[in-house]
Amino acid sequence: MLNFNISRYNHLLMKTGAIQIKDNLYYDERSAGGLVYKEDKGKILWLLIRTISSYKSAKKKSKGPVYKFPKGHLKEDEFLKQAALREVEEEGRIKANIITKIGSNNYILWDAENKKKIIKKVTFFLMEYAGPSSLKYYDSEMVIERDWYSFEEANEKLAYDSEKVLLKKAKMKLESILRK
């Protein structure tokens, strides 16, 4: 497996303005996150966080608190898996172990200050709960709730359709692993 240090790539991005990954497709930002599960009394539960973003766009109002999976930017010299584990610990206040990669989502955001769109790629990993963490963190996006939900509850609560698709992929992958 090729280990690619995306943070160095992000550093180049900052100097050049964008990362070309395919003809006419560029990523301005890279992030990583996790879909964390645990088994509780024979049931599989999924970790969701509920956040309030302090980011306000000039074009639209904040849509309020949303349920989603923990995710965030890569730090300098950080690999995708390292960033995903760190973000899960920071936002979810838990420790987890990576099982496998689930997939990636592309997000198009509007940067009101610079008046341009930003294309962000977020890579997600299936993770197994390993225990609680007392790590504290502070970010512009405030986590107001962390909780475990059944697949059905999580699918209902998730704010973004793209994350619902990832949840379904994670569930199928986990079921495949548990059958072995």
Gap between the terminal Cα atoms of the chain: 24
Residue 15 lies in a domain: yes
Residue 1 lies in a domain: no
35-163-84 Cα angle (round to 5): 35
Domain span at residue 67 reads: 6-179
Give residue 113's pLDDT: 83
Over the chain (180 residues), what is each successive 10-residue block's mean pLDDT? 37 43 64 97 97 56 82 93 96 97 88 84 97 82 93 96 96 93
Give residue 52's pLDDT: 87
Give residue 5's pLDDT: 38
What total of structural domains would you count in the chain? 1
User: Do the Cβ atoms of 65 and 146 come closer than 8 Å?
Assistant: no
Rounded alpha-carbon distances, angstroms, from residue 14 to 30, 98, 178: 12, 29, 42
C-beta neighbour count of 122 within 10 angstroms: 25
